[in-house]
């Protein structure tokens, strides 16, 4: 009898062992690279659109694997030019912008910042890492913030034309009253890249602040338009961004000749451009949030955000 009990006990132990091994094998099978594939994997989002109607990806947290995408671009030896403008009191934003970029912006890749300012002596001495460069370029001061903002298009156009051809592969143009809080990496690269404006990603199209006056070259008819893009961040290949900046500059010149200024300045022209020249990649508002202290809903990670500022105090005019 004791013998029989012992046998049952051993069979039970064996059963337990086989059962546990099988469950382990099944679990490993589902999670391992050998059995899984990208179609059965867990990348992708169901709570937000991650592709446009013209099949351009919209980059959100959870839609890419940073290790995979980093390893692809690492083999390409790329340089990312990044322009930033700080005129007048906006030089005060430079320290946070540059220091936080060192922590989060294309970490491990070659980045060349081109900083345009009317006060080179106010540029803070931020220690940049290996393969990170900063070129300061002096501009004359301007009296209207709108002119500063709009003039960026022509300055970028000329920078790409005259200096960047053999210097960089991609370019991003960023507002300076901002700070990085999370990874902004090679997942953002593409031929033509627009960033969805953080105030308009979850509102109906009729609320988009496009230019609706037909007299302006930035005119977008009611009911037209895909997304509302921010003027605070855009980028892409040198060729595509050159075409974008040249077109916007030309359209703004026509507006000036016709005594009209688009509602949101170069941002209005950028939106018109993107309507007829669709971006090949869109970045979600994770890549430009309103203010770090504001709640974010479907924006699970804030990578880059405007900093709170008192417009009346920092701008040269109202």
Question: By CB under 6 A, is residue 228 in contact with ligand UD2?
Answer: no
Pairing outcome for strands 229-237 and 170-174: antiparallel
Give the residue among 157, 194, 169, 167 at the shortest CA–CA distance from 52: 194
Question: By CB under 6 A, is residue 238 in contact with ligand UD2?
Answer: no
Question: By CB under 6 A, is residue 231 in contact with ligand UD2?
Answer: yes
Which string of DSSP letters, residue by residue, matches 71-131?
HHHHTTT-EEEEEEEE-GGGGGGHHHHHHHHHHHBSTTSEEEEEEEES-GGG---PPP-TT
Rank residues 15 and 124 by Cβ distance to ligand UD2 and give the closer one.
124
Out of 61, 157, 261, 267, pick the active-site residue: 267
Q: What are phi and psi of 159, to 5 degrees?
A: -60, -45
Find all residues with CB under 8 Å of 152, minimum gap 6, and list them: 83, 85, 116, 173, 266
Pairing outcome for strands 132-138 and 110-117: parallel
CB of 37 to ligand UD2, least distance (A): 39
Judged by CB under 6 A, the residue of 172, 264, 273, 289 near ligand UD2 is 264
- Give CA separation, 263 vs 51, 73, 224, 251, in Å: 29, 38, 17, 14
161 labelled catalytic:
no
Q: What does the DSSP 8-state code read for residue 205?
A: G
Residues of the binding site for Mn(2+)? 175, 177
Rank residues 88 and 279 by Cβ distance to ligand UD2 and give the closer one.
88
Judged by CB under 6 A, the residue of 177, 211, 255, 261 near ligand UD2 is 177
Q: What does the DSSP 8-state code read for residue 32?
A: S
CB of 44 to ligand UD2, least distance (A): 28
Rank residues 132 and 179 by Cβ distance to ligand UD2 and give the closer one.
179
Work out whether the CA dihedral 58, 59, 63, 67 comes out positive or negative.
positive
Rank residues 70 and 118 by Cβ distance to ligand UD2 and give the closer one.
118
Q: 102: exposed, middle or buried (C-beta count within 10 Å: 0-12, 13-18, 19+)?
A: middle
Question: By CB under 6 A, is residue 272 in contact with ligand UD2?
Answer: no
Which residues partner with 113 through β-bridges?
82, 134
Residues of the binding site? 90, 175-177, 197, 209, 267
Mark 70-109 with x for binding to ligand UD2 (rule: CB under 6 A) and - for no binding: ---------------xxxx-x-------------------
Binding to ligand UD2, residues 181-200 (CB under 6 A): 197
CB of 82 to ligand UD2, least distance (A): 12
Given the rule CB under 6 A, which residues bind ligand UD2?
85-88, 90, 145, 148-149, 175-177, 197, 230-232, 264-267, 306, 315-316
* Residue numbers annotated as active site: 267
């Amino acid at each position: 009898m004791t013998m029989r009990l012992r046998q049952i006990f051993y069979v039970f132990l064996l059963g337990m062992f086989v059962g546990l091994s099988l469950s382990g094998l099944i679990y490993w099978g589902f999670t391992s690279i050998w059995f899984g594939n990208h179609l059965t994997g867990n990348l992708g989002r169901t709570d937000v659109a991650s592709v446009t109607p013209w099949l351009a990806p919209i980059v959100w947290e959870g839609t890419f694997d940073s290790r995979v995408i980093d390893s692809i671009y690492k083999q390409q030896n790329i340089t990312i030019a990044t322009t930033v403008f700080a005129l007048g009191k906006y030089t005060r934003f430079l320290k946070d912008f540059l220091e936080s970029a060192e922590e989060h912006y294309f970490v491990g890749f070659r980045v060349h910042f081109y900083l345009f300012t009317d006060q080179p002596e106010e540029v803070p001495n931020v220690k940049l890492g290996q393969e990170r460069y900063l070129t300061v370029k002096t501009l004359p001061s301007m009296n209207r913030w709108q002119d500063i903002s709009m003039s960026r298009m022509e300055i970028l156009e000329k920078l790409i034309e005259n200096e960047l051809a053999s210097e960089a592969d991609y370019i991003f143009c960023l507002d300076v009253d901002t700070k990085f809080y999370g990874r902004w990496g090679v997942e953002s690269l593409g031929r033509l890249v627009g960033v969805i404006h953080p105030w308009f990603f979850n509102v109906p199209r009729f609320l988009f602040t496009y230019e609706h006056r037909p007299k302006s070259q930035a005119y977008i008819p009611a009911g037209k338009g895909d997304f509302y893009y921010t003027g605070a961040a855009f980028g892409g290949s040198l060729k595509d961004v050159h075409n974008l900046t040249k077109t916007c500059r030309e359209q703004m010149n026509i507006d000036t000749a016709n005594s009209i200024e688009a509602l949101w300045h170069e941002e209005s022209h950028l939106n018109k451009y993107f309507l007829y020249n669709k971006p090949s990649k869109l970045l979600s508002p994770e890549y430009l949030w309103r203010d770090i202290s504001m709640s974010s809903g479907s924006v699970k990670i804030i990578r880059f955000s405007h900093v709170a500022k008192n417009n009346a105090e920092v701008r040269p005019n109202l």
